[in-house]
Amino acid sequence: MKKLFVIFLLAVVGYSLVNALMDVPFGENRIEPGTVSAFYLEKTPTQLSVANVITAIVVNYRGFDTLGEVSVLFLASLGLGSILYRKHKEGEEEVAILKPSSQLVQAGSKLIFPAILVLGAYVFIHGHLTPGGGFQGGAIIATGFLLMMMAYKDYKVSHNILMWVESLAGIAFAGIGIVGLVVSHSFLENFLAIGNLNDLFSGGIIPIIYVAVGFKVAAELTGVLDTLLNIKDKH
Amino acid sequence: MDIDYNQLMSIGVYGSAIGLILIGLYAVLIKKHLTKIVIGLSIIDAGIHLLFIAIGYIKDGTAPIFSPGGLKALENGQPMVDPVPQALVLTAIVIGFAVTAVALSLVIRLYRHHQTARIDQIKSLKW
Amino acid sequence: MMFEAIVIIVLAIILLAAAVYAVMQKDLLYAVIATGVISLILSVFFFIMQAPDVALTEAAIGIALTTIVFIITIRNTSRREDEVLVEKEPDGTEKEN
Amino acid sequence: MAAFLIPLLAKISKELVRIVPGLVIGYLSVVSVILMTQVINTGQPIIEVIGGWSPPFGINLVFSAFTGFLVSLMTFMAFLIWIYSYRFKKIDDAPAQKYFILFMMLVTGSIGIVLTGDIFNLFVFMEITAIAAYSLTAFYRDRDGAEAGFKYLLIGSFASALMLLAIVLLYTQVGTLNMAEIAQRMHTVPQGMKITIFTLFMVGLGIEAEMFPLNGWAPDAYSQSPGPVGVAFAALVVKAGVYSLIRVIFTLFDIHGAYEFLIIMGAITMVIAEISALKQTNLKRMLAYSSIGQMGFVLIAFGINTNAAVFGAIFLMFNHAVIKGLLFMSGSYLVYNTPSKEIKDMAGIGKKLPLVSLFFALGALAIVGLPPFSGFWSKLYILMAAADSSFYYLMGTILIVSIIEIVYYFRVMGRLYFGKPQNDVILQKPTFGGIVAMSVLAVVIITIGIHPDFISGFIQSAADTLLDKAGYINNVLQSTNL
């Protein structure tokens, strides 16, 4: 009975979605003059001299979204900690869920780990030139830490360091925004020279903010993974 | 050969987006296992992200990056695809991950209390 | 164009099959792997549709991190399998432990 | 922003973590009240542009008389909740630092929802609010909290998925995300598409605003979360949800029948919720259903869509925040002194905890709309507006529902004062901060009840601003700050 109802519901949703998408032809150029996209595509190379338009949108035009998004991650790691928090009772034998990996895996991870870190750093430093940026780079670095945590049972990321990195990066982001507010009248406004298109040092505050975002995302994701991996279970 | 490849692509992309949304919805509504429900949620999210990118795509377009390659493509008359949906999806993916993580931590909490993760065996509150 | 269209159609079929598999599979570990496959294919889609940024994000977050978080959850929620009442959907851990 | 600082401060002093959010929220509330009076005096909203790009290219914050009024209300309530939860016993058991940061983020998210002028930014803030709310719901270590949290999360993330879908479709049609520009271009959207998008928005936002039939999360979330969090839900989260619903209907869309739809949904929500409240035996669940009913009432008032009705609706939103805040605050202590949480076990508590019971009784009298309390005026204004628009059947419904309300609130009060106390043990005494917060709310209720002109000027300009759609569009789009 419930199944029939659900299938009926799905049919209705599917039909209305198909109907709605009929009005949206695929692959059509919908960027007319006057839309925001046209503005972004036109102004980004000249006014910001940032090659990657998406970076420009994410960090500058819609920078407030990114601030909110970073807060969401921050909140998630915090909420995770608060949800999974539990008092340690005495007399309970606790075992970690991870078992030590083989030597091969350990040696391999040790080899790959720096490479992953460098890749992540590259991705977020070049966020304004090539695809990628703070989120991607941060996530890549977090996978690097994940690898280490899985390979070495005792590999611990210091929570203090994570917290400092996270807070400092957050303060850097907000601080740059406030400096923009003071120098150029509006929050997160660009106040540095914009440089030349496709140079590493171009785009004013955009690369700086993206690096801060990268550090913050990396710290937050590592924190989330660390919390989850360190769940102890009663044996 | 006069197959409209754009048409074909549109069927593939829109079809999979709608399919993902519907399949995810089915999982959320029917399945009883909490982890399965969260999987369903993440499938719905994936479908919506695909839809975002699909509406921003422009036939024969190039990525909205003014790198040397991108500039060359622009000179060849290729349009740049719409950057706004891509920027939004970036945000949406990260938010989706955050929500998934919180959901799964709640699943772990529930499992600790009930020793089961099936809705029909957790009956302390009315569903 | 033709190449991309064919790739997309083929991948779309695999994608939907993976989604159905992820929902229908009783073994949660396999289901999670299938969602990883969905993310992987989506990432290819994004790349074909000229969204390399999003493709990178999906690759890093969707494929790696989400899957890992799911697997950790599965490990944590089914450790004491013997005490679970009537599990119609056995969790994947018995293959792991 | 200040939230990032908190973990660092925690290194310096454990005590500081509790104080800083309160100071920040207090500062915010003072600033927003000052700005609000300034905005009302000049008649010109403040548009804050972010990133130096004038709308619609950048994200902008709109501080108009309406949003300003809501923000002032929210920060004021948040400040009181902070006073209330400072040293709150049950929170002291759990990691307090996390509680205060989560609460801070909840406030930030709700304020952001109200202030933002961008539809995707609204989504982002909604997620911030939602994740903070999920974590706070599941804050206690008991199992029901986790379950209520998961239920809320399930429905909430379903809602946000729908909202995301609505944003995609909307973007394909208008090519912009700025709400003012969307409103400007809305007439170019084909009718069928408009209805699809509208439905998606309604379902998605209706969940946050506790609209029927999507309010299944609310009673559990209210009853299982820590005491102050229930207050925060009533005063902040739901207000933000209703605000976004109203913003979408009033500013974004120009569909015929949307207002009638609102009236019908509001009426159904109200009737069903109040009848459910009558059947509840658990005090907090009863309050939660009553809260849903009040939200239905607000929706009806907005749906009537005359200046007087909108005035009444905003007044009711204010009253609901204040009175429900008082009820939840005092109700929490009643519940903590009654291990079973059942109303029937609360007999005679009025003698054990005279002050708390007095506050509860005051709130109950105010919310059913008896003079001379502030609830009376909002109900009167809405009834008059309904009469002016000749919605006589609605007036009947409202009156009947009010009688139901009176029945169940008086039942609780009867238990409180005329039951036989089972024992004399006081399990948990109210903290000093709690009493201060409740007294402030009580004073506000009585003052405004006796002298409603105190606040009606603010509300009148808020209602005018909300109804002035063209003014909103002009103000936002002409604010070049480059």
φ, ψ at A127 (rounded to 5°): -60, -30
pLDDT < 70: residue spans in chain A: 27-30, 32-34, 45-49, 85-101, 153-157, 159, 174, 177-178, 180-204, 231-235
What pLDDT band is residue C87 in, cutting at 50, 70 and 90? very low
pTM of the model: 0.86
Contacts of B76 (CB under 8 A, 6+ apart): none
Q: Is residue C67 assigned to a domain? A: yes
Q: What is the pLDDT of residue D7?
A: 40
Alpha carbon of residue D341 to chain centroid: 24
Residues in chain A: 235
Q: C-contacting residues of B 11-40, CB under 8 Å?
A: 11-13, 15-16, 19-20, 23-24, 26-27, 31-36, 38-40
Q: Do D58 and A180 touch (CB under 8 A)?
A: no
Q: What is the distance in angstroms between the CA of the first residue and the CA of the last residue of chain B?
A: 56
Q: Which of B39, B91, B100 is nearest to A80 (CA)?
A: B100
Residue-wise pLDDT tens for chain D (482 aa)?
434 444 434 434 444 555 666 666 667 667 767 777 777 777 676 776 666 666 667 777 777 778 878 888 888 888 888 777 766 655 555 566 677 778 877 887 888 888 887 888 888 888 888 888 888 887 776 667 777 888 888 888 888 888 888 888 888 888 778 887 888 777 777 888 888 888 888 888 887 777 766 667 777 777 777 777 778 887 788 888 888 888 888 877 777 777 888 888 888 888 888 888 888 777 778 888 888 888 888 888 888 878 888 888 888 888 888 888 888 888 877 777 766 666 666 666 667 777 777 888 888 888 777 777 777 778 888 888 888 777 778 788 888 888 888 888 888 777 777 766 666 666 666 777 777 888 888 888 888 877 777 777 777 777 777 777 777 777 777 655 43
Q: Do B88 and D165 touch (CB under 8 A)?
A: no
φ, ψ at D338 (rounded to 5°): -130, 95
ipTM of the complex: 0.85
* Selected residue of D131, D164, D168, D198 to mutate for chain A interface (largest A Cβ count, 10 A): D131
> What's the Rg (C-alpha) of chain C?
16
Q: Residue B79 is which amino acid?
A: P
Helix (H, G, I), strand (E, B) or coil at B62: strand
Q: Nearest 5°: CA angle at D413, between D410 and D417?
A: 140
The sign of the dihedral angle between the CA atoms of A117, A118, A119, A122 is: positive
Which residue does chain D place closest to A61, by CA atoms? Answer: D58
Q: What is the pLDDT of residue D92?
A: 52
Q: From CA D166, how far away is CA D201, in angstroms rounded?
A: 6
Neighbours of chain C (3+ CB pairs under 8 A): A, B
**Where do the structural domains in chain A lie, given as residue ranges?**
34-85+95-234
Name residue D47's beta-bridge partners: D62
DSSP A145: H
B65 — contact with chain C (CB < 8 Å)?
yes
Nearest CB to C83; choose among B40, B61, B115: B115
Q: From CA D183, how far away is CA D177, in angstroms rounded?
A: 10
Q: Do C49 and B15 touch (CB under 8 A)?
A: no
Q: Do B98 and A75 touch (CB under 8 A)?
A: yes
Which residue does chain C place closest to A131, by CA atoms? Answer: C53
Nearest CB to C60; choose among A136, A224, A225: A136
What distance in Å separates residue A48's CA from the closest CA in chain D?
12
Q: Is the distance from CB of D331 to CB of D283 less than 8 angstroms?
A: yes
The sign of the dihedral angle between the CA atoms of D49, D53, D55, D57 is: negative
Q: From CA D241, how far away is CA D261, in angstroms rounded?
A: 17
Q: Which of B96, B113, B119, B120 is nearest to B39 (CA)?
A: B96
Instruction: For chain C, give the mean pLDDT.
Output: 76
Neighbours of chain D (3+ CB pairs under 8 A): A, B
Q: Which residue segments constitute the domains of chain B, with CATH numbers given?
A: 5-121 (1.10.287.3510)
Nearest CB to A24; choose among B55, B91, B98: B55
Nearest CB to B25; choose among A2, A10, A24: A10
What distance in Å separates residue A177's CA from the closest CA in chain B?
19
Contacts of D455 (CB under 8 A, 6+ apart): D315, D318, D448
A60 — contact with chain D (CB < 8 Å)?
yes
Q: A-contacting residues of B 88-127, CB under 8 Å?
A: 90-91, 93-95, 97-99, 101-102, 104-106, 108-109
Domains in chain C, number: 1
The sign of the dihedral angle between the CA atoms of D470, D476, D479, D482 is: negative
Q: B-contacting residues of D 99-138, CB under 8 Å?
A: 120, 124, 127, 130-131, 134-135, 138
Which residue does chain A place closest to D121, by CA atoms? Answer: A65
Q: Do B55 and D124 touch (CB under 8 A)?
A: no
Q: What is the pLDDT of residue D313?
A: 85
Name residue B62's beta-bridge partners: B80
Rounded (10°) angle between helices A206-229 and B83-114: 20
Q: Residue D223 is which amino acid?
A: S
Q: Residue D2 is which amino acid?
A: A
Which residue does chain B place closest to D162, by CA atoms? Answer: B48
Q: Is residue C42 assigned to a domain? A: yes
Q: Do A26 and B9 touch (CB under 8 A)?
A: yes
Q: How many beta carbons lie within 10 A of that of residue D302, not counting itself?
A: 26
What distance in Å separates residue D9's CA from the closest CA in chain A?
10
Q: Which two tokens stand for residue D270?
A: 């109200």
Q: Which residues of D touch A75 (CB under 8 A)?
A: 102, 105, 128, 131-132, 135
Q: From CA C16, how far away is CA C8, in angstroms rounded?
A: 12
Q: From CA A170, how far away is CA D329, in angstroms rounded?
A: 34
Answer left, alpha or beta for residue D257, where phi above 0 means left and psi between -120 and 50 means alpha: left
Of B12-21, C36-45, D404-413, the one with minimum mean pLDDT is: D404-413
Q: What is the pLDDT of residue A91?
A: 41
Q: Which residues of B touch D164 (CB under 8 A)?
A: 48, 92
Q: From CA B13, how far away is CA B18, in angstroms rounded?
A: 9
Q: Which residues of A touch D121 (CB under 8 A)?
A: 62, 64-65, 68
A139 — contact with chain C (CB < 8 Å)?
yes
D155 — contact with chain B (CB < 8 Å)?
no
Of B110-124, C69-83, D11-25, D55-69, the one with minimum mean pLDDT is: D11-25
H/E stretch holding D273 reads helix D258-279
Q: Is residue C90 assigned to a domain? A: no
What distance in Å separates residue C59's CA from the closest CA in chain A?
9
List Cβ<8 Å contacts ≥24 apart for A221-224: A221/A73, A221/A138, A221/A139, A221/A142, A221/C65, A222/A141, A222/A142, A222/A145, A222/A146, A222/A157, A222/A162, A223/A77, A223/A157, A223/A159, A223/A162, A223/A166, A224/A73, A224/A76, A224/A77, A224/A80, A224/B101, A224/C69
Alpha carbon of residue A208 to chain centroid: 15
φ, ψ at D355 (rounded to 5°): -70, -50
Q: Is residue C89 assigned to a domain? A: no
**Contact of chains C and D by CB distance (3 or more pairs under 8 angstroms):** no
C61 — contact with chain A (CB < 8 Å)?
yes
Q: Is the distance from CB of A127 to CB of A60 less than 8 angstroms?
A: no
A96 — contact with chain D (CB < 8 Å)?
no
Instruction: Select the more confidently predicted residue: C91 or D198.
Output: D198
B74 — contact with chain A (CB < 8 Å)?
no
Flag whether pLDDT at C82 surpasses 50: no
Q: Which residues of D touch B84 (CB under 8 A)?
A: 171, 177
Q: Which domain holds residue C73?
A: 2-78
